Amino acid sequence: MQNNPLKALFPQLVGARPLIYLDSAATSHKPLSVIERTNQYYSNENANVHRSSHTLAAQTTAKFEAVRQQVQHFIGAKSDREIIWTKGATESINLVANCLSTQHLQTGQKILLSALEHHANLVPWQQMAQRFALQIRIMPVDDKGCLLIEQALQLIDSQTALVAVTHVSNTLGNINPIELIIKKAKALGAMTLIDGAQAISHLKVDVQALDCDFYVFSAHKMYGPTGIGVLYGKQVLLESMSPYQYGGEMIQQVGYFDSTFQGLPYKFEAGTPNIAGVLGLGAAVAFIEQHRALIDQIESELYAYLLQQLAQIKQVQLWGETKNSIALQSITLIGLNIQDLSILLSEQNIAIRTGHHCTMPLMQRLGLAGTLRISLACYNTFADIDAFMQALKNAVLQLAPDSAIQDESNVVVASELRPIVNILPLAQKIKAAQGWDSVYREIMMAGKELNRLPVHLQVAEYEVNGCESQVWLNCEVKEQHLHLQGDSPSKIVRGLLAIIFEVLQGQKVESIAVFDMAAYLHQLGLSRHLSSSRGNGLLAVVQFIKLQCELACAKN
């Protein structure tokens, strides 16, 4: 889709140097209609709902409740009383998990989840299982991350109380055969919850046709505002559940010693709701419904083109399904660190998600530290993919494996005490580099000078928490001077460690205590090239070093 008519409707994506945004699975951009609708509320309609009797409040309440009916029809619910406003899919799942566990689940019963689940559809059930002596069972995936449906169905039995499964994997893009899962669960009397956060903007959802008991999603992944989401639940189940939170809005009558509560949907909506968010969600639903055919066409063409282009790079490994997927693809590149790739892509104006994508158990199952996730939406173009591919090729060229042999016995020790404010040889090259590509080339070259930690010491005892990529450090204080070894799977992080080591190696402990890393990085011109997470990771490294120095001094 080279000339995409929808892209112009998204103001943040047009301009002199438009952002190449390939991270829509994390959050989608918002069309002008959504932005204007939320602005209109705050500019002209600001009043609380369901509370006041004046005209403005009554008008705003009517518009607010009209969106509930709009969402009801959008997902095919039987009644608008089955539509509950929440902060998002995460709160929706927590609401169901807490309410069901206290009233509908019995000791020893099973909760069945898939190996693909986002932490939001895993951790709440883990906590409920621990509190109420329930059993967690996991539907398996194959070595590419595709759900093994026959084995999954066999796990549903008479002891299964609930099956909670994602409609679409947020990490891999797989569209799961939830119809088969729901049918089997229903036949054996188990309830079903479907996490639709990644499906809702890509697929037509009909909850009555699916016959699921609960369906959850967030507005911000479907072109709507943040902080607003939907819990759909069958009316009979919602009526049988006690309120999740208590306070204003959800009460019917309150005394000093007892209270009664509203019926559906209000008993689950304590406090003033996100009114602007609800109205913005309504505008997002209208946008999808108006352009659904074009959205489907654009995303289908973009995904096919992405797969075609990725095939040109021999190091690329694809994860998940490609024939039964939304416009999302997770990749790794053989021999290359994904954090390094992400840093170099970001420097080239490519917004892309890297890491475990809140699916750490899935990454462990696949034997991965994480993936690069390219997630497309209706505002992307072939030109976006071309720019990404060129940036990826540039990154691959910069990160080509080097032939340096690690000498684990080589410990670099300063021959004399250096003033800690000096800019030393490795840092001098960084400071002199012109352009982001030259800066990162010098950083990676610096990594070859790192006094690397032997592999057998790369264990939890030496790992630094708080870093974007894994980092291990060994700090020794000999005769009041610091000696360092370190390592990381990331070439760029190894380079940054070498730059820090260069200025700290051999220094007196008292000098280490007053070292200002942020000022030093600024002095080198590196601050503008480091994201907040990478900067925080380096800060964690320096804090780790300082702590080890303090402990060594205390022993002496």
List residues with catalytic annotation: 358
Q: Residue 375 — φ and ψ, nearest 5°?
A: -120, 120
Q: How many CB atoms lie within 10 A of CB 144?
A: 14
Residues, the chain: 556
DSSP 418-483: --TTS--HHHHHHHH--SHHHHHHHHHHHHTT--BPPGGG-SGGGBPTT-SS--EEEEEEETTEEE
Number of C-alpha atoms within 13 angstroms, CB side, residue 2?
A: 0
Cis status, amide bond into 265, omega within 30 of 0: yes
Check: CB of residue 118 under 8 Å from CB of residue 26: no
> How far is residue 295's CA from residue 288's CA, in Å, rounded to a whole number?
8
Q: Which of 377, 69, 24, 71 is nearest to 217 (CA)?
A: 71
> How far is residue 556's CA from residue 548's CA, in Å, rounded to a whole number?
13
Tokens 């475990």, located at residue: 356
**Amino acid at position 68, single letter:** R
> How far is residue 89's CA from residue 74's CA, in Å, rounded to a whole number?
17
Q: Which of 457, 344, 375, 51 is nearest to 198 (CA)?
A: 375
